[in-house]
Chain A
Amino acid sequence: MKISINGLHKAFESRIRLGIMSALAVNNALDFSSLKEYLEVTDGNLASHLKALEKEDFIVVTKAFIDRKPNTKYTMTKQGRQAFEEHLTALENLIKSQK
Chain B
Amino acid sequence: MKKTEEDYMQDLREIRSIIERSTKFLSLSGISGVLAGLYALAGVYFVAGVFEGKQLLTYRSASAAEMWNLLLTAILVLVLAMSTAVIFSVKKGRKRGEKIWNAAAKAMLINMAVPLVVGGFAALILLTKGLLLFLPPVTLIFYGLALYNAGNYTFNDVKYFGVAQLVLGLLALYFTAYSLWIWALGFGILHIIYGIYVNYKYER
User: Is chain A's binding surface mostly helix, strand, loop or mixed?
Assistant: helix
In the assembled complex, 12 residue pairs joining A and B whose CB atoms fall closer than 8 Å, in A order, are A15-B10, A15-B14, A18-B14, A22-B15, A22-B22, A23-B19, A23-B22, A26-B19, A26-B22, A34-B103, A91-B12, A94-B8
- Interface size class for chain B? 10 to 19
Q: Which of A17-54 contact B (CB under 8 A)?
A: 18-19, 22-23, 25-27, 30, 34, 37-39
Give chain B residues whose Cβ lies under 8 Å from the Cβ of A37: 98-99, 102
Taken together as a complex, chains A and B put the C-alpha atoms of A37 and B12 apart, in Å, by 19
Taken together as a complex, chains A and B put the C-alpha atoms of A15 and B8 apart, in Å, by 10
Contact A95 B23 (CB under 8 A): no
Q: Which of B's residues lie within 8 Å of A, judged by CB? A: 3, 5, 8-12, 14-15, 18-19, 21-23, 98-99, 102-103
User: Is chain B's binding surface mostly helix, strand, loop or mixed?
Assistant: helix
Contact A26 B5 (CB under 8 A): no
Expressed in whole angstroms, the minimum distance between the Cβ of A98 and any Cβ of chain B is 5
Contact B5 A38 (CB under 8 A): no
Number of A residues with CB within 8 Å of any CB on chain B: 19
Give chain A residues whose Cβ lies under 8 Å from the Cβ of B19: 22-23, 25-26
**A61 interface residue (CB < 8 Å to B):** no
Contact A38 B9 (CB under 8 A): no
Q: Which of A's residues lie within 8 Å of B, judged by CB? A: 13, 15, 18-19, 22-23, 25-27, 30, 34, 37-39, 88, 91, 94-95, 98
Taken together as a complex, chains A and B put the C-alpha atoms of A18 and B8 apart, in Å, by 11
B99's nearest neighbour on chain A, judged by CB, is A37
Taken together as a complex, chains A and B put the C-alpha atoms of A26 and B17 apart, in Å, by 12
Give chain A residues whose Cβ lies under 8 Å from the Cβ of B98: 37
Taken together as a complex, chains A and B put the C-alpha atoms of A84 and B147 apart, in Å, by 32
Q: Ordered nearest first, which 6 A-B pairs have the shortest CB separation?
A: A23-B22, A22-B18, A22-B15, A98-B5, A19-B18, A38-B22
Contact A30 B8 (CB under 8 A): no
Expressed in whole angstroms, the minimum distance between the Cβ of B96 and any Cβ of chain A is 12
